[in-house]
Structure 1
Amino acid sequence: MFPHYLSAARAGTLALSAGLLTYSLPVLSQNGQGAETENNNAPVLEEIIVTAQRKAQNLQDVAISMTVLSQDQIANANMSNSADIATYTPGLSTNNRFGSENASFAIRGFTKELRTTASVGVYFAEVTAPRGQNVQTSGDGAGPGTLFDLSNIQVLKGPQGTLFGRNTTGGAVLMVPNKPEDTFGGYLEYSGGDFGLNQYQTVLNVPLSDSFKLRFGVDHKEKDGYLNNVTRIGTSELNNVDYTAVRASALWDINDTMQNYLVVNYADSETFGNTSRLFDCTDDTPLENPLVAFTGLGCQQQLADQAANGNDGFYDVVSTVSKPITAIEDLRIINKFSWNFSENYTLNAIMAITELYTENSSDVFGTQFTETQAAVLPFGFDISVADPNREFSPGVSLTNPNRPVTDQQGRVAELQIQGMAFEDKLDWQAGVYYEDSKPNGFSGNDSAILISCEIATIETGDPEQYNCFDPTGGQIGGVSNIRNKTEYENKAIYSQGTYHFNQTWALTTGLRYTWDDTEGEVLFAQHNFIGTIRQDPIVSDEQASQSSEAPTGLIELQYRPTETSMVYAKYVRGYRQGSVNMAADAGIQTHDEETVDTYEIGAKTSFEWIIPGRFNFALFHNELTDMQLQGGYVSTAKGPTTAIFNAGKAEIRGAEFDAFFQLTEGLSLSLSYSRLLTELLEAENNQAAVEAAGGPVAGSTFAPSAVEGDTLPFAADVSYTANVNYIFDLPLNAGRLSLGATHAYVGEQRMSASGTTPFDILPSFRITNINASWMDIAGLPLDLSAFVTNITDEEYATYISGTDSSLGFSSRQMGAPKMYGARLRYHF
């Protein structure tokens, strides 16, 4: 976990490059000097304040394994989104199937599959992130424009079954924005670097009076993409960054007992999006996999072409979408009213409105198979009339000009009371929670699936202009138009309290009861072709709903053998709601709730020995019932798609530790480690259900994400981060210099079920970052920082499609190469 510093702008220090350290260097006073002890000038450790239990507490007093990242660490690691956070947080992974901007979190192996609800709750200013539609992954994460002017990011590991809103079986990620302060101030900052990095950031804090304060911030970032599109169709680069975020907040101390805090955050991001890189073709024959007849020759030819023309580099990709886009608009309006209506009681009322709008057009698998490369084409098709503008598409997802992929509005309301009783021995809180998320009309996308088409004609959104040819005579492929609505409603009541028997022993109990309802509707139109003649569309209107309810909570015993150490043992029940998946075929469009029983023991210690520091560890055992897992298949009606099944039972065991050592007054070392042992213990065979719903091809191409005996998806077996930092004063009052290095390792992760592809496991990778900062240059209010991320230029994948058994090839998404940059900040 990360060392957490005081504000670099005022403390005269610089935060390290991103690492995974929840602990800090010595605390520094406001003039940049180390705080002195009674006996010497050695600095002492800073107390880190977190809100993991919905109130401000010392990190060492909270019986939760967690990671805390400061704003400076986010900046030094060049973070922009969810995927970046996970790289430097052991035990935290992301599903990058639809690009890093739409990545979803997984903690300790609790995975959010495509079209399930989140297993990790993401909260900004105590309010959950807006949901997206589930046709593609969107929402529920830390999107562009949320990672600036933060007090910190807190990653809570393990089920948070009582105090947080919904479905936190894996954990929670808390983003805490800086509140308005008492003094006038702020900063102007510019960052530049390779890949065309240009970032402008400004924050202004204005206290209008002793009781009313405002804070404003703007963050604009542009960076060229590192993926080279060799076709040059639409764009020459992918995976770029281009967003603007605006934040305004107001803090009003109404009187001595009442306070109102309002924060508004708006982010607008529009990029060329992402795509995968084709890298392998299956050895299966058409008899073993019928779809190889359509993709096999094209796959082999594309790999040969990539090698022959020099476009076989790790970051060379193929995209034939003429208007590639990943657009995200995210609005959050959050208000928290607090009333200390007596000495021992506080009432908190939180209300929020969120809006999420997304568009996405991308070549999902990164292929360009010409029309004549399907082996069946010579049978009944005159190759001489083949259209060079058409390509056989295994799956291209396109935004329809008349509707977005997501257009969702959410409302959150929570009423909470916190109090003390029995001469302050009992610290308790209770509340009611309500959330709904409703679509602003239909949303969805268009797809050309297992059919030969001119992609640009599909992008028009007008079926009359489609230029397609179906080599199967309309039996499998087609162009699909999906219009989707998904509505969520979540209600809960909860209570949690800690009773301190004495200064040594304490018992915490909590209980939450949750009611969840989901309703979905999809208007589906399939345009089939016989030869080049478009047939009348096959239209369906499908509806599904799912309701679930469950109690969750915890029992936790704490023991403090000394003032600076705490040992705990706890049991937690977690729950993830049942939901709908309208992209699947009728009959397999719903899935039930998932539950988990977690047993954990751990310790948190601080010490002031010859080498002061901290050491925390946790051992945990999770038993999952009715785990929600994904299975991919090729539907006769809907093409390549996925269904969600309650797979059976699974087990997750593991250990985590983090340590911080202040080796000398200016030299610190931090280590953090996670080890996961996961296994799918029982799994039902859902092939028959898939075949009954989607047809014979669906059954023969069905590929679950895990089978019995497999490790669980997106659960890195080993991950760790090490960080070293050295801070020292420069002579002649020239300022203060910080030098830091961070090394992060992410172990192997399952991507697909064993036996379905030779690439079922995502290989491990490691990243090393360095940074240097000169703070308060020559006594002026200027800070200069430089950073290099992935300094060894490691080539690593972040996702593998695992579609050998279904589509006949494999594609992967790639992580960022080496990047460098510098920041200049003027603070006032």
Structure 2
Amino acid sequence: MKQRQARAALFVTSAITALVGAAPAFAQSTLNEVVVTARRVEERLQDVPISITVYNQDQLDQRNIVTATDLATYTPSLTTNQRFGPEKSSFVIRGFTQESGTSPSVGVYFADVVLPRAQGGTTSGSSPLPGAFFDLQNVQVLKGPQGTLFGRNTTGGAVLLVPQKPVDRYEGFVEGSLGNYDMWRTSAVVNLPLAETLRVRMSVDRQKRGGYMKNKSGIGPSSYNDVDYWAARLGIVADLSEDIENYTIFAYNNSYGRGYASRIELCRASGASGGGALLGPLACAQIARQNARGDGRLDVEVNNPKPLIDLSQIQGINTTTWRASEALTVKNIISYSEFRERASFSLNGENFRIPTGLPGAGQPFNYILLNPPPQPGGGNSIQSTFTEELQFQGNLWEDRFVWQAGGYFELSEPMGFSEGYTAILLSCTDVRTLQCINPTGGGQVSWSRTKTKFDNKGLYGQGTFKITDRLSLTGGIRYTFDKIKSTGESTRIRIRPGAVGGFQDIVCNDTLRFNVPDGPDPGTSPDPLVVSSPEACRLSLKQKSDKPTWLIDLDYKPIDDVLLYAKYARGYRQGGINMTNVGIETWGPEKVDSYEVGGKASFGGSFPGYFNIAAFYNDFQEQQITANLIARPESGLAGGNAIVNAGKSTIWGIEVDSSVTLFEDLRFDLGYAYLDTELKEIDIPTLPADSPFLQVIPTAEVGRPLSFSPKNRVTLTASYRLPLSEDLGDLSIGATYVYTDPQSATSSQVSPLWKLPSTNLLNLNIDWKNIGGRPVDLSLFATNVTDEIYPVSVGSSFISAGFESVLYGPPRMYGMRLRYRFGADS
């Protein structure tokens, strides 16, 4: 370990020395200047002492980036956790992963405002939905803690989506796309200057694509992993005076599809205990059916009759900027957003049949099937979020000291109960009324109803002082106050063994029990779930934390086009509440101390480009980790999952981002990330004596790497502009190669398939703009050209259920886009 760190330090030192040594050869870059807002003000990318990857809209289009998983494909330091499907994926940067039920470790911001919160039973929300990556000025991926200016829950970094702002000219386009898997997409943008002081921009994006996972069960849809979304945006800029600008933006996204499907790949026919003794052999039978049909890895067998993942998000943002003087700018950012989710999916992708000799023999039954509430307005997650930020920016002593300070308030409230019904080891025709067969005697319905309120406040300040014209010192601090209040009526309903006949007893929050030995008579009793008396099951909990985050940075510019920096930052992620696990319902915040050195250089001349490098070391403590709960035999429960502060890890690595243009028309872009993560300690929490759970088993092991943290990732893009006359247009071809090392899908070896293999992905694009001198553009694209079939996550059910399922990434996709531009852009 120490030898690897020493070699890495030597490599970074050599690279930085080379930058300085070559300084006389550098000239003012002839490349277009890239402007970023990584420090909440507009700055040149090469002047910001942060490791950043930036994509403009053309680069997003060329790479066919539509979802969060697409963005992660091309960004070496960015991966995603796709355990619950691509639409519900969460970002991972530098090993910082969002476990189910925790707050994000990578903050995602749209127009300077954090995306809406969600608080459901599975990870979702706080991440861009499909359709978010169109009509953008750029996307900025900031690596490392950003706690001072962006707040808590950015321990891994932040992703900034900057929309195109209305401009003072008439322009726009309409676009249509076609591709394989019956893909079609249409987009349109129009920018209207309604007056000298009023500008409007409207955009819409719609896409549908069939699923690539083919379902062979004969139950439910014929395919999974489809795409079906709407996205619309309205931006309005009003100049209230020469010094006051008001910018309002409304955004709407809806993604409605059949969700993901996983494929059972491994089983244990014998030797298992508990549920695995039954489910393992059934999984082996399913694998045998798959093999007999000659199924491929994109063929699944799922018995969910009505799967869906319906995600919708609205967000309204108003930013008022007052340039009070040359030395002071006041900005107020206010927003309101809503997030809704309705989902029904089989957690592990099974098509099990009740074995001969058990009640209901031959009928399909599920291991774990998640369902939405029946009422139209209800959802698995329904949450609103209000934010208000007042920001002051200024400079003193002829720009020698540049500063900003502000206050932040966020209130996220439930719009009703976030609830869902989970059928476990049951065959149900109607979960709501408990029309279920319990063939194993261990079946139950988990009915989860929660309301969670987040109250977050923060005060921050940051300033940069120029010690000399070349040497600057930056310092910043933020103090955050977090409150969480959660009310739950979580109920586990144990179904009577045998044929349909109601419930056996009810367990509220794993502590209160309503014994109903015989159960009500079907068809004559009131709603069984009403019998559980939600008020009696109600439990309310609170969790508070207040923590500082800070930044100290020293940067030096030996010449204008070279920046060297060293910094130390503290980041923290707030804790949370899980209502269903008595004794360990809450978990506390985690913190990270990050140390980073880096260098940036841009160069002109015959081969213009840039070269950026950063090396970092993170001391990660009080790590939030998912743990499996083993129930006491006398409790009658099926176990559960909890979040515990159980870990301490070290994380270090190197990141390189560079570009060079040869012969004016040939450009190469290189991104590289080396990441070394290791879980150093686990402190297992002690359960109370009256807990219904016997044991806490973290899904992590000391000495193992953190999940979704490949050691090496390389992205290489080559683009060549053909030397055509202007009458023919502008034709360019491009190729992107992405290599990813093997990585862990979980931080332990509870599953034999815990390690995802390496991948080699090749994507191609051809862009022909201004065809024949007309405002018409044609693009051809192909992703995963070699049709590599690769896993992206695993179910981690081998120990508990005796089988394992795997989620797979998209196969080869290809298509074409045709765009017509009008107005000033034509």
- Structure-1-length-normalised TM-score: 0.89
Please point out which of 188, 196, 201 is paired with 1:215.
201
Q: Aligned runs of 1:108-119 on 2, under 5 Å? A: 108-119=94-105
The question of whether the paired residues in 2 share the 8 Å contact of 1:273 and 1:362 is answered with: yes
Please point out which of 576, 585, 592 is paired with 1:589.
585
Residue 370 of structure 1 is matched in structure 2 by 353
Q: Aligned runs of 1:175-324 on 2, under 5 Å? A: 175-282=161-268, 285-286=271-272, 289-310=273-294, 312-324=295-307
Q: CA deviation at 1:140?
A: 0.7
Q: Quick one: which amino acid aligns to residue 361 of structure 1? A: S
Q: Which moved more, 1:434-443 or 1:742-751?
A: 742-751
For 2:722 and 2:63, the matched residues in 1 are separated by 22
Deviations 1:757-800 (A, max 9, x none): 22222222121100001100011000000000000001111111
Deviations 1:127-146 (A, max 9, x none): 00111114111101011221
Q: Aligned runs of 1:649-668 on 2, under 5 Å? A: 649-668=648-667
Q: CA deviation at 1:428?
A: 0.3
- In structure 1, the residue corresponding to 2:430 is in which secondary structure? helix
Q: Quick one: which amino acid aligns to residue 815 of structure 1? A: G
For 1:652 and 1:732, the matched residues in 2 are separated by 51
The change in CA–CA distance for 1:649 and 1:590 in structure 2 (over 3 A counts) is: same
- Which segments of 5 or more consecutive residues in structure 2 lack a partner in the other structure? 1-27, 509-536
Residue 544 of structure 2 is matched in structure 1 by 547
Residue 671 of structure 2 is matched in structure 1 by 672
The change in CA–CA distance for 1:507 and 1:638 in structure 2 (over 3 A counts) is: farther
Q: Aligned runs of 1:714-729 on 2, under 5 Å? A: 714-729=708-723
The question of whether the paired residues in 1 share the 8 Å contact of 2:461 and 2:478 is answered with: yes
Q: Quick one: which amino acid aligns to residue 430 of structure 1? A: A
Q: Aligned runs of 1:328-727 on 2, under 5 Å? A: 328-372=311-355, 382-383=357-358, 386-391=360-365, 393-402=366-375, 403-449=378-424, 451-454=425-428, 456-458=429-431, 461-463=432-434, 466-472=435-441, 476-528=442-494, 529-532=496-499, 533-534=501-502, 535-539=504-508, 540-582=537-579, 584-633=580-629, 635=631, 639=638, 641-686=640-685, 689=687, 693-696=691-694, 699=695, 703-727=697-721
Please point out which of 753, 758, 768 is paired with 1:764.
758
The question of whether the paired residues in 1 share the 8 Å contact of 2:667 and 2:718 is answered with: yes
For 1:803 and 1:228, the matched residues in 2 are separated by 22
Q: Quick one: which amino acid aligns to residue 390 of structure 2? A: L
The change in CA–CA distance for 1:615 and 1:787 in structure 2 (over 3 A counts) is: same
Q: Aligned runs of 1:794-813 on 2, under 5 Å? A: 794-813=788-807
For 1:782 and 1:398, the matched residues in 2 are separated by 46
The change in CA–CA distance for 1:691 and 1:650 in structure 2 (over 3 A counts) is: farther
Q: Quick one: which amino acid aligns to residue 453 of structure 1? A: S
Q: Quick one: which amino acid aligns to residue 772 of structure 1? A: I
Q: CA deviation at 1:387?
A: 4.0
For 1:490 and 1:142, the matched residues in 2 are separated by 21
For 1:121 and 1:467, the matched residues in 2 are separated by 41
- In structure 1, the residue corresponding to 2:687 is in which secondary structure? helix
Q: Which moved more, 1:795-804 or 1:531-540?
A: 531-540
The question of whether the paired residues in 1 share the 8 Å contact of 2:267 and 2:281 is answered with: no
For 1:506 and 1:218, the matched residues in 2 are separated by 44
Q: Quick one: which amino acid aligns to residue 95 of structure 2? A: G
Deviations 1:23-50 (A, max 9, x none): xxxxxxxxxxxxxxxxxxx992111000
- Which segments of 5 or more consecutive residues in structure 1 lack a partner in the other structure? 1-41, 374-381
Q: CA deviation at 1:147?
A: 1.2
The question of whether the paired residues in 2 share the 8 Å contact of 1:495 and 1:511 is answered with: yes
Q: Quick one: which amino acid aligns to residue 424 of structure 1? A: D
For 1:108 and 1:488, the matched residues in 2 are separated by 27
Q: CA deviation at 1:638?
A: 6.1
For 2:616 and 2:62, the matched residues in 1 are separated by 32
RMSD between superposed Cα atoms in Å: 1.8
Q: CA deviation at 1:530?
A: 2.7
The change in CA–CA distance for 1:79 and 1:232 in structure 2 (over 3 A counts) is: farther
Q: Percent identical across equivalent pairs?
A: 39
Deviations 1:217-266 (A, max 9, x none): 01011111111111132210111111111110100111111000000001
Residue 25 of structure 1 is matched in structure 2 by none
The question of whether the paired residues in 1 share the 8 Å contact of 2:360 and 2:437 is answered with: no
For 1:103 and 1:638, the matched residues in 2 are separated by 29
The change in CA–CA distance for 1:554 and 1:468 in structure 2 (over 3 A counts) is: same
For 1:308 and 1:427, the matched residues in 2 are separated by 69
Q: Quick one: which amino acid aligns to residue 651 of structure 1? A: T
- In structure 2, the residue corresponding to 1:394 is in which secondary structure? strand
The question of whether the paired residues in 2 share the 8 Å contact of 1:768 and 1:791 is answered with: yes
For 1:527 and 1:261, the matched residues in 2 are separated by 51
Q: Which moved more, 1:277-286 or 1:58-67?
A: 277-286
Indicate whether 1:777 and 2:771 are aligned: yes
Indicate whether 1:824 and 2:797 are aligned: no
Deviations 1:606-654 (A, max 9, x none): 1124422110000000001101111134556664632111123110000
Please point out which of 724, 734, 740 is paired with 2:734.
740
For 2:210 and 2:687, the matched residues in 1 are separated by 45
Q: CA deviation at 1:169?
A: 0.4
- Structure-2-length-normalised TM-score: 0.90
The question of whether the paired residues in 2 share the 8 Å contact of 1:648 and 1:682 is answered with: yes
Residue 129 of structure 2 is matched in structure 1 by 143
Indicate whether 1:152 and 2:138 are aligned: yes
The change in CA–CA distance for 1:543 and 1:43 in structure 2 (over 3 A counts) is: closer
Q: Quick one: which amino acid aligns to residue 580 of structure 1? A: I
The question of whether the paired residues in 1 share the 8 Å contact of 2:268 and 2:284 is answered with: no
The question of whether the paired residues in 2 share the 8 Å contact of 1:491 and 1:515 is answered with: yes
For 1:158 and 1:112, the matched residues in 2 are separated by 15
Please point out which of 76, 89, 93 is paired with 1:103.
89
Q: CA deviation at 1:728?
A: 2.7
- In structure 2, the residue corresponding to 1:733 is in which secondary structure? coil
Deviations 1:522-565 (A, max 9, x none): 21222222323332433432332211111101000001111100
For 2:198 and 2:270, the matched residues in 1 are separated by 69
For 1:59 and 1:751, the matched residues in 2 are separated by 33
For 1:122 and 1:691, the matched residues in 2 are separated by 41
Residue 6 of structure 2 is matched in structure 1 by none
Q: CA deviation at 1:500?
A: 1.0
The question of whether the paired residues in 2 share the 8 Å contact of 1:258 and 1:338 is answered with: yes
For 2:751 and 2:262, the matched residues in 1 are separated by 17
The change in CA–CA distance for 1:690 and 1:275 in structure 2 (over 3 A counts) is: farther
Indicate whether 1:749 and 2:743 are aligned: yes
Deviations 1:350-395 (A, max 9, x none): 000000011110011001221117xxxxxxxx44x5343342x221
Q: CA deviation at 1:343?
A: 1.6
Q: Which moved more, 1:594-603 or 1:500-509?
A: 500-509
For 2:470 and 2:795, the matched residues in 1 are separated by 52
Residue 23 of structure 2 is matched in structure 1 by none
Q: Quick one: which amino acid aligns to residue 396 of structure 1? A: L
Q: CA deviation at 1:470?
A: 4.0
